[in-house]
Structure 1
Amino acid sequence: MRNDAQGAPPGRQEATSPLPGTHTDRKGIAADVGASLVVFLIAVPLSLGIAVASGAPLIAGIIAAVVGGIVAGLVGGSVVQVSGPAAGLTIIVADLIMTYGWRVTCLITLLAGLVQLALGAFRIARAALAVSPAVVHGMLAGVGVTIALAQLHVVLGGAPQSSALANITDLPQQIAHNHTAAVAVGVITVAIMFGWNRLPAIGKVRPGMVPAALVAVGTATAIATMGRWEVETVALPASLSEAWNGPMLPESGQWHGIALAVAAVAMVASVESLLAAIAIDRLHNGRRVQLNRELCGQGAANTVSGALGGLPVAGVIVRSTANVRAGARSPLSTILHGVWILLFVAFFAHVVELIPMPALAALLVFIGVQMVSLAHLRNLRRHHEASVYLVTLLGVVFLGLLEGVFIGFALAMIMALRRLTKLTVVTEERADRVHVTVHGSLTFLGVPRLAHVLRTVPEGAKVDLDLHVDFMDHAAFEAIHAWRVDHERTGGSVDIDEVHEKWYARSSTNSAPVAKTIPKGRWWAPWDMRRESGADLAPNPLGLLTAGAREYHAGTADRMRSVMSRLAHGQSPTALFITCADSRVVPNLITASGPGDLFTLRNVGNLVPSHGSSDGSVGAAVEYAVNVLRVPSIVVCGHSHCGAMQALSEQTHQGPEEAQTTHIRRWLAYGQGSLRRAGADRGELAGLPAAEALRRLSQANVVEQLGNLMGYPAVRERVESGELTLSGMYYDLETARVHLLDAGSGEFSPVQSVQDVPDPVPHPRGGAAPDQPLDESSSGASSRPSC
């Protein structure tokens, strides 16, 4: 697997395995030990809480946490992922315990682990990733809602009902009639969980350095103990013989249900673990996860956990994220956290037994609510998969986990088939030509729609047919070719331009289509992708540049000559475009601009030092653009996954790399205002997922630099006179979408593509075009670019 650290912030900790005996090795071990203690403090209350929600013996959660840490850490393929009892399996385990009893559930866990070991051994881990993330996130959200509804009754001093609907129905009565000490314990726990990471930092000490779960449960325990409140507390076995409550064979008529249960546990645990491992890979720069080995590690952990009487084990995102943020560099931190749990329970069981059960229930309520991620919902909404998420969530809550997942998966498959058959055809008349643009997958299912539109083209017209299609089958080719022959026979002309693949061209010359690739000569494709598609590009950097220039001379230079000869006499750019030096951000590409349109200023983090600062290079560019070129607009463009913003937020440049990052650290000092604007000094970024925190900081950085621009007298004067406008822009690398800053709301909103604009497109014969684009999945302009 390629380890691409492009855009990684300088000085960021890497999860590596240094050579033994070195200074780096000792520092890495110290970091792992510190991280293991942080994860240990989070894992103990979470493991007990998940056991409570599952209806399993409390010691089963501790066993799963110990085994998940030690066994999965030793065998697994992820450097920093932490495994243990997972909330996503709670509903399945609770149902299995009710149906078969605890000891048979242990057998199911053991057999599910063996299934995972077999899947990993046969190297089919990636098949688990075929499940739509919308289904997975919807499943986890549904589990979270179910847990929260059930445990809320425990917090209120009552008992959970048998279903989510019954819990909802009985909730008003619980709220009205139960006001016991249990309620006070629960309220204290939830209040601390909610507010802990929002407390202001004291100097360099941030509240987030101590896990909120530990503070909440510890405070509730201390208050309940000192106040002698009558609440139910944790009860652990008195001896090892009592603790072991391992697997048992089921009755003879139950094996069919057991087989289905084994498959369900293995599937959910595998998918959740692999998706979590991939997500955690985005947080560190070390070795990427080996998915098949990680699946074997999860299988080994479940086999041992089931044999010892523990809950099912899976990779867990909360503890893994805490592990990375605490500085973990190797699996040693995961292994040690399991060791600390074992030692703590062995020697301090009496402390654990002081924990009130309502505190664990309140902790689960908070965690369950957090599992409903609005960030995931927003991302899925952009990809038009929010309906899958919501249907899965509601199905899990009201029908059951397997039923909800099945319904969600079925809906995801239907939507995928719909996208495969989706075709958008737009026609418009320009001067003496008819322009027809086709977006989507051109299969036999879309032939009737395409044929209907093509029949409306007037006889003898000159036609430009742009095919923005990622696939064309033989039926579609036959339909287009037959229409083209007939149209040209009546005196018309047809110019076909294929933007992505030469499906029509290959079919018309009787050559079989090749596998999908980026076509040679597509300037927007990276060199390595074009090289894979067969483009004649040399493997070394100088050779790539030379070959790229050769390709430019062969296909573009002659057409550019007239444009460049005119621009050679002077420039009059439309905007000063200030953006990051990141190689993945291409200003002319994301603005569809050409030579002479943008006066571009690039630096690390798209920073604009304030007027009068020691750095004069940015000021020189601003003054030249405003005073000499008289640009009417200045745009500051930030982007997602920005290494500079990541380094700015972490503020860590230690060890042997310090001398190599002197200039970077000095430059990033100009970004301190962005940190304050994003609320980092108030702890507002600490409790957020890493990607969300980085997005907020990157967007706040754009706003901050616009403010710095107003500190330049020339800029302020022209802005106040109405001759100059300042704009903010944000580019999301994952979605390849541009967002603009709304000056009124201060929010960044995605720019609508041509296909998203609902206005009807004029048709050559009057009225609206027969088919309008339906969503943003079809991209590209509807006009033919001119050179």
Structure 2
Amino acid sequence: MARLTKSSFSTTLRHDVPASIVVFLVAVPLSLGIAMASGAPLAAGLIAAVVGGVVVGALGGSAVQVSGPAAGLSLVVADLVQTYGWRATCMITLLAGAVQLVLGVFRAARAALAVSPAVIHGMLAGVGVVIALSQLHVVLGGSPQRSALANLIELPGQLAELHGHKIAVGLLTIAVLAVWVRLPQRVRTVPAPLAALMAAALTAWIFGWDVTRVDLSGAFTAWTFPVLPQGDGHLIMAAVLLVALLAGVESLLCSVAVDGMHTGPRADLDRELTGQGVANMVTGALGGLPVAGVIVRSTANARAGARSRASTILHGVWVLVFAIGFGWTIQLIPMEALAALLVFIGVQMVNLGHIRKVHGHGEVPVYVVTMATVILLGLAEGVLAGLALAALMALRRLTWVTVRTRRRPDGRYHATISGSLTFLGVPRLTQELRAIPDRAAVDLELNIDFMDNAAFEAIHAWRLDHERLGGTVDIDELHDEWYAMAASGVRVYPAKTPSHGPDRSWLPWAYRRRRAARRPASHGPAAQDDCLLTEGAREFHRRTAPLVRPIFTELARGQQPTHLFITCADSRIVPSLITASGPGDLFTVRNIGNLVPRRDCEPHDDSMGAAIEYATQVLGVHTITVCGHSGCGAMAGLLSGGVMAGGLPAMRRWLRHGNHSLARFIETAGDRLGDDALDLLCRVNVQQQLDNLRTYRKVDDQVRAGRLKLVGLYFDIGEARVHVLPPVPSQLSVHA
């Protein structure tokens, strides 16, 4: 056990003691109200509050979470009390605690987080509606019915027989609860539930209203040990598991939510579940309600400034002291005021914020089905219905197939299939693929992480039919080669391809740093760019360097590239990306317009000549590639006759090396100049630079000897597609 230092004692006095008093003031009225909604003795709510505070506070895994009787369990407890009686319900609570203890010991807490929050929120909303409907009858001076539907049917008759004083107390309680949140902060130091009950009790006492009083006489002295339930053993075990799982899941989800409300140590979920189990065993033995982590009290504790579990423990101590020493004051509270408090709480449990959250993830149907089933059939049925629907929707998402087909300007069809290909997606898959016209050339891209036999057969059969009718199909698989392996007869393992996120190295900074770009900058643009460079270097060292270090260790002895790659300096052209090459493959030269000045040209340029000599005579490359691109700014300047480069004298001099390209373009285009003139010039320019390369004697000799190949590429930026340009007869006398 940690030693109590002077600093920790001071923290407890300054922060935890005041917070514990706030939580105590919230806990007492809520505990009484939940006991009333559960059909249990009112003292059972106070016992659960004491045990939840002291036992879970001491043994649990959360520093700030407060446990006690939970409204979400009231329907289960009410049904158990009506079916087996109160003492047997206490035994069920005790056994449920033992189940939680075993689960915590075996570290099963994390599994509870697999429950969809939409199910939990829908369950709580349904419970809230049921509580509000049942307690509304008490506010009106009547008695709640067995089910929510019966309460709704009986409501008009209850309204016809109004009981003046009882309704007045209820309305007064609800009015105080509604108005309290709008009062100044100093007034709101007193919790709203306590203020509402005090106002109702005081008003009823002053005016002598005829109301029903809370009766705690003999509640703490008439204790007897719980008894075993009588009935079907399977149903009893089901009830034990239901209480254990619902209380455990609610506690663990509450722990995760409370972690975001404070800066202290994070919750140990397995320890928390163990502590909840011990507490439920104790509260069951003492005749209390089931215990769970409660978000209302936990939020109040965190907002009041609690720093440690001392606040939770002390709040339980204050409840115990109050119940023993001042329990008589509770008898001043009208039952109708407690019922009105429960109506208000029940309405608040239908949280619009939760609906907005689940709507953002497409889980509103799960929320609605869970809530409606809880209201109409019961808590267990509602939870099962919500879990089943959540599982079906998750299965649908996991097996959903996206098929996108478009026709490119060159007449080819590009089809992309994304998702997990299973038999469930075969109807949609075949429908989309068969919509592609016969005899069409198709590029089929498979961006999938799984393919079962039914999906493979569907794609393969379509491919064979399409090719038999005169079409062509080129299949490109972005992940593991599911189709290729299945087509070759290799065994395909059932596991999905691990999701390796996209290699971030090829993404532009603007995409990778979009969040950072939204934050206000503390430095100028230049400093931000420098920061991106240094961050990029750090990311390389952290993520990429360990993967490529063996390659660079080998390359450190020398380079042996096979290609001289001449391309434009345009920032959108990434040679290694568009050629799928790696370190050591390309000897790259970049300049404005991917121009190759002719040998002995004016103005003279040794930069390109030196690169060509070194690549062909020292490195011995096999290929020289000139790569142009769409929308080239240099070619636009050339097409404008130098007007666009008016204020850039160096640019005007450099563009003289493109005059032969311009002349060739005019000769090639003739009268067909139009909107595509720039792209046509970009293509012609590549072919011209291949001719310019042959003005270098060593290049021409190697080409003639068949030892060197010249290749022209054109990169369409908008389409992200590389085109190989057809060779043209040389117009140069290379040896002149």
TM-score by length of 1: 0.63
Deviation larger for 449-458 or 302-311: 449-458
State the 1:559 CA deviation: 9.6
Residue in 2 that maps onto 1:389: 367
- Alpha-carbon distance between aligned partners in 2 of 1:505 and 1:336, rounded to the nearest angstrom: 66
Alignment of 1:76-475 (within 5 A): 76-199=60-183, 201=184, 205-238=185-218, 240-242=220-222, 244-251=223-230, 253-432=231-410, 433-475=412-454
Deviation string 1:160-206 (CA, Å, 9 cap, x unpaired) is 1122112111112222321321111111111111121123x3xxx45
**Partner SS, residue 437 of structure 1:** strand
C-alpha deviation, 1:497, in angstroms: 5.7
**Map 1:642-657 → 2, pairs under 5 A:** none
Distance 2:366 2:346 in 1: 20
- Tell me the equivalent position of 1:517: 499
CA distance, structure 1, for counterparts of residue 287 and residue 301 of structure 2? 26
Specify every segment of 5 or more residues in structure 1 that has no aligned partner in the other structure, as ranges: 1-16, 528-539, 570-782
Change (3 A) 1:144 1:561: farther
**CA distance in structure 2 between the aligned counterparts of 1:114 and 1:159, rounded to whole angstroms:** 35
CA distance in 1, matches of 2:438, 2:9: 77
- Quote how far apart the aligned CAs of 1:209 are: 3.4
Segment drifting more, 407-416 vs 386-395? 407-416
1:581-601 deviation digits (Å, cap 9, x = unpaired) = xxxxxxxxxxxxxxxxxxxxx
SS in 2 for 1:182: helix
Give the Cα–Cα distance (whole angstroms) in 2 for the partners of residues 336 and 343 of structure 1: 10
Cα deviation, 1:740-772, whole Å, max 9, x if unaligned, reads: xxxxxxxxxxxxxxxxxxxxxxxxxxxxxxxxx
Q: CA deviation at 1:33?
A: 1.3
Match runs of 1:702-721 below 5 Å:
none
Contact 1:488 / 1:494 at 8 angstroms: preserved in 2? no
Tell me which residue corresponds to 2:690: none
Taking a change above 3 Å as real, the CA distance of residues 548 and 297 of structure 1, as seen in their structure-2 partners, is closer
SS across alignment from 2:499: coil
Give yes or no for contact 1:463–1:493 (8 Å, CA) kept in 2.
Answer: yes
The amino acid that maps onto 2:150 is A
Moved more, 281-290 or 185-194: 281-290
Q: Tell me: higher relative CO, structure 1 or 2? Use CA pairs within 8 A at least 6 residues apart.
A: 1
Aligned residue identity for 1:224: A
Matching residue's letter, 2:152: I
Counterparts in 2 of 1:100 and 1:371: CA distance versus 1, 3 Å: same
Shift of 1:391: 1.5
Distance 2:512 2:63 in 1: 30
* Structure 1 pair 548–308 and aligned structure 2 pair: CA distance change class (3 A): closer
- Alpha-carbon separation, structure 1, partners of 2:12 and 2:443: 62
1:457, distance to aligned residue in structure 2 (A): 2.5
Question: Shift of the alpha carbon at 1:100?
Answer: 1.1
AA of the residue aligned to 1:155: V
Q: 1:544 aligns with which of 539, 542, 548?
A: 539
Q: What amino acid is the match of 1:521?
A: D
Distance in 1 of aligned mates of 2:404 and 2:219: 75
| 1:376-424 CA-partner distances (Å, limit 9, x unpaired) | 1222223222112112111111111122222222222332333333223
Q: Secondary structure at the match of 1:438?
A: strand
Q: Report deviation, 1:107.
A: 0.7
- SS of aligned partner of 1:154: helix
Following the alignment from structure 1 to structure 2, what is the Cα–Cα distance between the partners of residues 63 and 135? 29
Alpha-carbon separation, structure 1, partners of 2:269 and 2:568: 48
The answer as to whether partners of 2:89 and 2:229 remain within 8 angstroms in 1 is: no
Quick one: structure 1 residues 96 and 450, their matched pair in 2 at CA, closer, same or farther if it must change by over 3 Å? same
CA change 1:21–1:437 in 2 (3 A) is same
CA drift of 1:319 comes to 0.7
Go from structure 1 to structure 2 and tell me whether the alpha carbon gap of 1:480 and 1:526 turns closer, same or farther (over 3 Å shift): farther
Paired residues of 1:155 and 1:361 also in contact (CA < 8 A):
yes
Query: Bigger shift: 303-312 or 163-172?
Result: 163-172
CA drift at 1:101? 0.9
The alpha carbon displacement at 1:326 in A equals 1.0
Which residue does the alignment assign to 2:626?
none
Q: Unpaired segments of 5 or more residues in structure 2?
A: 514-534, 552-564, 575-589, 593-717, 723-736
Q: Distance in 1 between matches of 2:260 and 2:486?
A: 42
Cα distance in structure 2, aligned partners of 1:159 and 1:226: 26
CA pair 209-410 structure 1, distance change in 2 beyond 3 A: same
Q: Distance in 2 between matches of 1:453 and 1:541?
A: 41
Give the secondary structure class of the aligned counterpart of 2:221: helix
Contact 1:84 1:313 in 2 (8 A): yes
SS class of match (1:353) = helix
CA distance in 1, matches of 2:503, 2:80: 58
Shift of 1:446: 1.8
Q: Measure, in 2, the Cα distance between the counterparts of 1:390 and 1:491.
A: 49
1:301: how far off?
0.6
Deviation at 1:470, TM superposition (A): 4.2
Structure 1 residue 480: Cα displacement: 3.7
Tell me, in whole angstroms, the C-alpha distance in 2 between the residues paired with 1:19 and 1:506: 63
Q: Provide the C-alpha distance between the structure 1 equivalents of 2:201 and 2:124, rounded to a whole number of angstroms.
A: 29
Check 1:239–1:178 CA distance in 2 against 1; reply closer, same or farther (3 A cut).
closer
- What one-letter code is carried by the residue in structure 2 that aligns with 1:326? A
2:261 & 2:721 partners in 1: Cα distance? 43
Match of 1:81, SS state, is coil
- One-letter amino acid of the counterpart of residue 369, structure 2: V
CA distance in 2, matches of 1:93, 1:206: 38
CA distance in 1, matches of 2:543, 2:465: 41
Q: Is the 8 A contact 1:67 1:338 kept in 2?
A: yes
- SS for the counterpart of 2:252 is helix
